[in-house]
Amino acid sequence: MDRYEGFREFVSARQQALMRTAYLLTGDAHRAEDLLQTVLTRIARHWPKLAKDGNPEAYARRALVNEHVSWLRRRRSDILTSRPPEPAYDPESAGLHRMVLQQVLLRLTPRQRAVLVLRFYEDLSVEETADALGCSPGTVKSQTHYALGRLRVLAPELADLLSEVDPVEVPR
């Protein structure tokens, strides 16, 4: 029996969704591909166990985040000085938000970025995000708050966009 039976089907079905998450985490297509390849290789190594009694997709998502944070720790100077991705220059309102958001996401810490991606792109609950990141739900909440606050400071024009996910308290 092929120990990798079902792996190709899993990758074929889920790799594009995982690639998009990797792209949001890294902000760079080449780095995203490297990241996903590393994670998929690890999944292939553990495939018999994951296929039998695991959740390969949840494992992949967790591994993407952890591997990405780990890369940044190891290669911090390289990452921070590399050329930023060329944002879509689409100064119509929606396109502008996207362009600005793409830029400022890269100025968050890796964990803050991961929290936003998991909570608001992957639509995970606080508890699921905490599980993926290996931290407490309280940490997820505080990291979310800090990340959105930092986005507001870095890009005031995103205030409207952000108020939908985190309304700012207005003093009465």
Which parts of this chain interact with another protein (CB under 8 A)?
4, 7-8, 11-12, 15-16, 19-24, 29, 32-33, 36-37, 40-45, 47, 81, 83-92, 94-103, 105, 116-117, 120-121, 123, 157, 160-162, 164-165
- Are 98 and 89 contacting, i.e. CB atoms less than 8 angstroms apart? no
Nearer to another protein, 36 or 79 (CB): 36
CA–CA dist 152, 162 (Å, integer): 8
Nearer to another protein, 153 or 172 (CB): 153
CB of 39: closest distance to another protein in angstroms? 8
CB of 109: closest distance to another protein in angstroms? 17
User: DSSP letters of 39-93?
Assistant: HHHHHHHTHHHHHHHS-HHHHHHHHHHHHHHHHHHHTHHHHHHSPPP------SH
CB of 34: closest distance to another protein in angstroms? 10
CB of 166: closest distance to another protein in angstroms? 9
Q: Which helix (H) or strand (E) holds 115?
A: helix 110-116
CA–CA dist 126, 140 (Å, integer): 6
Nearer to another protein, 76 or 136 (CB): 76
